[in-house]
Amino acid sequence: MTLVIDHVTKTFATRAEETPARRVLDDVSLEVRTGEFLTVIGPSGCGKSTLLSCIAGFADCSSGRITIDDVEVAGPGAGRAVVFQQASLLPWRTVAKNTAYGLSLQRTLPRGEIPAQVDRALKTVGLEGYADYYPHQLSGGMQQRVNLARALATRPRMLLMDEPFGALDAITKETLQDELLAIVRAEQCTTIFITHDIEEAVFLGDRVVVMSPGPGRIRHVRELPFGRPRERALMATPAFGSIVAELRQMLHATPNEKEAA
C-alpha cells in the first residue's frame, strides 16, 4: 500500500471573524513505501496528529491531496486502522466485543466469521484467555493491547498509530514495542507511528520524519541503516546513539539553524 502526500496544507477556521484561520500543516509532501515502518517526531503542536487524521480520512485537506495506491483519500477506509494514545474502550463491552467493534462497523466479514478473527487478533497481542474480561479489569498496558487487537482484527493494510505507548510505564512500553515489531513484520502492513520519544522512533522505524514547529512542515527525513528483526542491544550501539543525538539536536535547533542544516 503506497501512500503519497502531495503538497498538503490544513487550515482550521476560527470562530471569531477578526481572528485569522490557523494553519496547522503547510505544504507537506512525502511518499511512504509499501510495507514501510515510518516514524514521525516533532514538537507539540506541529501537526503530527492532524497529518495522521488526514491520512486516516478523518479530516479533509485544505489543499493538496493524499492518495493510497493512486486512489485519493476521501474518508475512512477498510484498509486503514488507527490506534490512538488512549485505548478508548467501551466499558460495557468485554475484551472480545471491543476487539470486534471495528469489524462490526465495517460489515466486510460475515458475522459468523468474526469470533475466529477476534480470537486470532487477541492471540496476536498476547491476550488469549482475556476475551470475557471488561476494560476496568485490565491494566493500562493490557487495555492498549486490546486497542491494538481491535485494529489488527480488521486485517489492515495500513496501520496508523498516534503515540500509542506514550502513557505506559517503561517496561510495558518496551514489551509492546517489541511485540509491535513482530506483529508488523508478520502482517506486512505499512505503518505510520507518531511519537515524542526519539529513541522509540529510531528503534522502530525504517525512516524517521522530523517535523518543524507549527505550521507543520517536513524538515528532514532520516533513513535508518538498521536491519530487521531488531534486538534491544541495538539501542546500546554507537550508531544508534549517534542518530538519536543527531535528531535531538535537530529538534532543539532554531528555525534558522534547521534551514542552514
Whether the pLDDT of residue 105 is over 90: the answer is: no
Q: What is the mean pLDDT of residues 137-146?
A: 93
Contacts 24+ apart (CB under 8 A), 235-243: 235/199, 235/203, 240/202, 240/203, 243/202
Rounded to an integer, what distance in angstroms lies between the CA atom of residue 180 and that of residue 175?
9
Tell me, yes or no, whether 59 and 95 share the same domain. Answer: no
What range defines the domain where residue 46 resides?
Answer: 3-79+157-260
The dihedrals phi and psi of 38, each to the nearest 5 degrees, come to: -105, 125
pLDDT tens for 86-102 read: 888 999 999 999 999 88
Domain count, the chain: 2
Tell me, yes or no, whether 138 and 162 share the same domain. Answer: no
Does residue 71 form part of some domain?
yes
Tell me, yes or no, whether 183 and 61 share the same domain. Answer: yes
Tell me, yes or no, whether 188 and 97 share the same domain. Answer: no
The CATH code of the domain that includes 236 is 3.40.50.300
Does residue 84 form part of some domain?
no
Tell me, yes or no, whether 107 and 164 share the same domain. Answer: no
**DSSP β-ladder status, 3-12 and 63-68:** antiparallel
Tell me, yes or no, whether 22 and 108 share the same domain. Answer: no
Residue 215, judged by CB atoms within 10 A of its CB (0-12, 13-18, 19+), counts as buried
Tell me, yes or no, whether 72 and 182 share the same domain. Answer: yes
Other CB atoms within 10 A of residue 86 CB: 14
Rounded to an integer, what distance in angstroms lies between the CA atom of residue 248 and that of residue 243?
8
Does residue 241 form part of some domain?
yes
The reported pTM is 0.90
Tell me, yes or no, whether 173 and 185 share the same domain. Answer: yes
Tell me, yes or no, whether 212 and 246 share the same domain. Answer: yes
Final residue belonging to a domain, choices 104, 132, 155: 155
Rounded to an integer, what distance in angstroms lies between the CA atom of residue 166 and that of residue 52?
16
pLDDT tens for 18-70 read: 667 789 999 999 999 999 999 999 998 899 999 999 999 999 999 999 999 99
Final residue belonging to a domain, choices 101, 125, 155: 155
Tell me, yes or no, whether 150 and 197 share the same domain. Answer: no
Q: What is the mean pLDDT of the chain?
A: 90
Tell me, yes or no, whether 107 and 59 share the same domain. Answer: no
Tell me, yes or no, whether 143 and 204 share the same domain. Answer: no
Final residue belonging to a domain, choices 128, 155, 182: 155
Q: Are 193 and 40 spatial neighbours (Cβ–Cβ below 8 Å)?
A: yes
